[in-house]
Structure 1
Amino acid sequence: MSTQKIAVVTGGNKGVGYAIVKGLCERFKGTIYLTARNEERGKAAIAKLKELGFQPLFHQLDITDQASVNKFKEHIQTTHGGIDLLVNNAGILYSKDASEPFAEQAEQTVAINYFGTLRISEALFPLLRNSARVINLSSSAGHLYRIPSADIRAKFSDAALTIPELSKLMDKFVKDAKENKAEQEGWGNPPYCAYIVSKVGVSALTIIQQRLFDKEVPNRNISANFVHPGYVKTDMNTKGHLTIEQGAKAPLYLALDANLKGKYVWFNCQVVDWYGETTPPKV
């Protein structure tokens, strides 16, 4: 079993995820896994990186599918025994002109962005080695004050909030969306509030994860941070103006350079107060 350092990037076949893998290939001293839900697209991304002289590995991974998650975990555990870096990048954002009903958008967005991130985290966290780093891709939409309701914000920011309680809060949003009550309950304006709630969930999850890491005995000295990569031009966000390489800057900073724990980091690598009422410009 190898003791070589292992990095894993979810949703790495395109966009910011691809740029993160590429940046890791340039600087991370170890084995890098590019994972993707679609095997064909994942392998095409690997081929593209190999043309540049890099040697990342591919493994299929659908963070919404427990069987896929279990298979990947078993592969890592058997082949390498542990992980040193986990970048939870996989996610979804419906376009503004999406035809799917809001209830469907809410359910799917939360299922992938929040529950998918939680699922892969719960599977792989036991494999994290001492001083491992976890980076969760959030968003400017993931800031606490993007939620209009003060009562809901208080629940998200409760210092005693547990992961099961947070998951119940996310389920409550989906239920409210299905009952056409999301706006009146204080979650925000449909349909974009689905993305906001999902990313606020990721942000709150990261804070709880760091709190749990800090309480571990023996302590593995693991860091978990969350990041807004910026207004990046991708197929999810065609109006963005940053390149994918610029969007990868802050995640790579957290992966390779920063010594931070439980922080919210902007695309320019600035630490932002997640609890504060204002944020720097999102671009």
Structure 2
Amino acid sequence: MASSLEGVAVVTGGNKGVGLAIVRGLCKQFKGHVLLTARNEENGKSAVELLKTEGLNPIYEQLDILSNESIDKFKSRIEKNYGGIDILVNNAGIAYKRASTSPLIEKAHVTLQTNLFATLAVTNTLLPHMRNGSHICMVSSMTSKLKNVSQDKDHPVRQRLIDPSLTEEGVLSLMREYLIAVDNNDYSIWPKDSPYSLSKVAITAVTRAIGRKLANDPRGIIINACCPGYVDTDMTSHRGVLTPDQGAVTPLMMCFIPSKGSNGEFYMEEKMYDWLNSD
């Protein structure tokens, strides 16, 4: 059992791409245990072995963010073996390929369930175990800009997203409305064929809502969302121009922002980005 005094960093979806690069960076920068989580045990352990050849020493932990049972078991292992968490990087996610012939209903439900609802399930389950001065990084995307909802700044969905009183549940409710609209083939106020963009818009919006909620938390937890950039990974079909290590730079920055730094903000290219006016 690890000492509860030792630092603990957790990266979801850490077996490849940007997630693996974030694990690599944390192993180099963070003094403590770095937990590389992945749904598939073989893939996760292979990633750990790869990093060990680089002189690094992450620890594999199984975590399927789509399984409440898996999340609960992971939480129990955190309680038993580590005592708490200092850094949580919510990196796990999904993006359908451009050439995918899957119906939009499937794309919308699977993408929102993975990128938003499951990510929040992990966050809320682990939040009670975040230590004083801990950091949460929500890996979002450049596609989370509000122009991808509508170019019209007075659009009703945009107005709801930027409402300073918007709660976490309010974001979830809005995205459930989107899924109902997709089920009914109703795009009167929603962009068509944009489930990935909307999932990341929602992640950025919900980060703002959680940041407001945590403002009154005595633990001083910092949460921010960020865009890694256009990275050469499986998710981008290797069209990206950045290496995974370059894509990890901004997420890693989110892991070490000073305790009195920004909270609930969105970052791109190592800088805070004005998401409320993201055109």
How far apart are residue 199 of structure 1 and its match? 0.5
Give the corresponding residue for 2:191. Answer: 188
* Greater shift in the superposed pair: 1-10 or 84-93: 1-10
Give the corresponding residue for 1:281. Answer: none
How far apart are residue 78 of structure 1 and its match? 1.2
Any residues of structure 2 matched to 1:20-39 within 5 Å, and which? 20-39=22-41
Q: Secondary structure at the match of 1:161?
A: coil
Q: Secondary structure at the match of 1:256?
A: coil
Is 2:220 the partner of 1:229? no
Give the corresponding residue for 1:260. Answer: 262
Structure 1 unaligned segments of length 5 or more: list them. 279-283
Give the corresponding residue for 1:41. Answer: 43
Is 2:158 the partner of 1:153? yes
How far apart are residue 257 of structure 1 and its match? 4.7
How far apart are residue 158 of structure 1 and its match? 1.3
Q: Aligned partner of 2:220: which letter?
A: N
TM-score (norm 1): 0.93
Equivalent-residue separation in structure 1 for 2:257 and 2:133 (angstroms): 13
Q: Aligned partner of 2:203: which letter?
A: V
Q: Aligned partner of 2:133: which letter?
A: S
Structure 2 unaligned segments of length 5 or more: list them. none
Equivalent-residue separation in structure 1 for 2:257 and 2:164 (angstroms): 28
Equivalent-residue separation in structure 2 for 1:212 and 1:71 (angstroms): 26
How far apart are residue 172 of structure 1 and its match? 1.1
Q: Secondary structure at the match of 2:277?
A: coil
How far apart are residue 224 of structure 1 and its match? 0.4
Q: Secondary structure at the match of 2:270?
A: coil
Q: Secondary structure at the match of 2:198?
A: helix
How far apart are residue 277 of structure 1 and its match? 4.0
Percent of aligned positions with the same letter in both sequences?
Answer: 39
Q: How many residues are aligned here? A: 271
CA RMSD of aligned residues (A): 1.2
How far apart are residue 186 of structure 1 and its match? 2.3
Task: Find the partner of 1:178 among 170, 183, 201.
Answer: 183
Question: For 1:147-204, what per-residue CA distance to the aligned partner results, in whole angstroms no more than 9, with x for missing partners?
Answer: 11610011111111122221111111111112111xx3322131xx100110011001
Q: Aligned partner of 2:76: which letter?
A: E
Task: Find the partner of 1:64 among 41, 63, 66.
Answer: 66
Question: For 1:178-237, what per-residue CA distance to the aligned partner results, in whole angstroms no more than 9, with x for missing partners?
Answer: 2111xx3322131xx100110011001100111111022xx1111000001000011110
Task: Find the partner of 2:117 among 102, 115, 119.
Answer: 115
Q: Aligned partner of 2:231: which letter?
A: V
Q: Aligned partner of 1:155: which letter?
A: R
Whether the aligned pair in 1 keeps the contact of 2:149 and 2:157 (CA below 8 Å) is yes
Give the corresponding residue for 1:251. Answer: 251
Runs of 4+ in structure 1 off by over 6 angstroms are none
TM-score (norm 2): 0.94
Whether the aligned pair in 1 keeps the contact of 2:145 and 2:278 (CA below 8 Å) is no
